[in-house]
Amino acid sequence: MSAPAPLAPVAVTMGEPAGIGGELTLKTWLARKDVRASPRFFVIDDPGRLRGLAQHLSLPVVIEEIGSPAETAAAFARALPVLRQELPAGVQPGRLDARNAPAVIASIERAVAFAVDGQAAAIVTNPIQKKTLQEAGFPHPGHTEFLAALGGTAGRPADVAMMLACPDLRVVPVTIHVALRRALESLTTELIVGVGRIAVAALRRDFGLATPRLAVAGVNPHAGEGGTMGDEEIYIVAPAVDALRAHGIDAIGPMSPDTMFHAEARRRYDLALCMYHDQALIPLKAIDFAGGVNVTLGLPFIRTSPDHGTALDIAGTGAADASSLLAALDMAADMARRRAGRAQAA
**pLDDT score recorded for residue 159:** 80
Fold (topology level) of 157-298: Isopropylmalate Dehydrogenase (3.40.718)
Q: Which residues are 164's β-sheet partners?
A: 171, 294
Under DSSP, is residue 306 helix (H, G, I), strand (E, B) or coil?
strand
Q: How far is CA 337 from CA 39, 58, 244, 342, 345, in A?
A: 10, 34, 28, 9, 12
3-class DSSP state of 293: strand
CATH 3.40.718.10 in the chain is located at 1-153+308-346, 157-298
Average pLDDT of the segment spanning 246-263: 96
Q: pLDDT tens digits for 297-319?
A: 989 999 999 988 899 999 999 99
pLDDT (tens digit per residue) in 318-338 = 999 999 999 999 999 999 999
User: How does pLDDT run across 17-62, given as a tens digit for each residue?
Assistant: 999 999 999 999 999 988 877 899 999 999 999 999 999 999 999 9
- φ and ψ of 65, to 5 deg: -75, 135
Does the structure show a pLDDT above 90 at 10?
A: yes
90-136, pLDDT tens digit by residue? 999 999 999 999 999 999 999 999 999 999 999 999 999 988 888 88
Across 257-277, average pLDDT: 96
Report pLDDT for 58.
97
What average pLDDT does the structure give for the chain? 92
- Say if residue 246's pLDDT is above 60: yes
Per-residue pLDDT at 155: 44
C-alpha 124/C-alpha 336 separation (Å) is: 12
Percentage of the chain beyond pLDDT 90 is: 78
> Is the predicted pLDDT of residue 189 greater than 90, yes or no?
yes
Q: Which one, of 108, 11, 106, 24, lies nearest residue 319 by Cα?
A: 24
pLDDT at 156: 45
Domain range 1-153+308-346, its CATH number among 3.40.718.10, 3.40.190.10, 3.60.10.10, 3.30.1020.10 = 3.40.718.10
User: Which pLDDT does position 5 carry in this prediction?
Assistant: 63
Distance of CA 89 to the CA centre of its chain: 27
* Residue 141 banded pLDDT, cuts 50, 70, 90: confident
Report the pLDDT averaged over residues 232-256.
97
Rounded average pLDDT over 152-168: 76
Sheet holding 63-65, edge to edge: 63-65, 80-84, 41-45, 10-13, 122-124, 303-306, 293-297, 161-166, 169-173, 271-274, 213-217, 250-255
pLDDT tens profile 61-101: 999 999 999 999 999 999 999 999 999 999 999 999 999 99
Whether the pLDDT of residue 346 is over 80: the answer is: no
The phi, psi pair for 42, rounded to 5°, reads -125, 160
Mean pLDDT of the 274-290 span: 94
Residue 85: per-residue pLDDT: 98
pLDDT reported for residue 1: 42
Spatial distance between the Cα atoms of 73 and 121, rounded to a whole number of angstroms? 13
Higher pLDDT pick, 277 / 290: 277
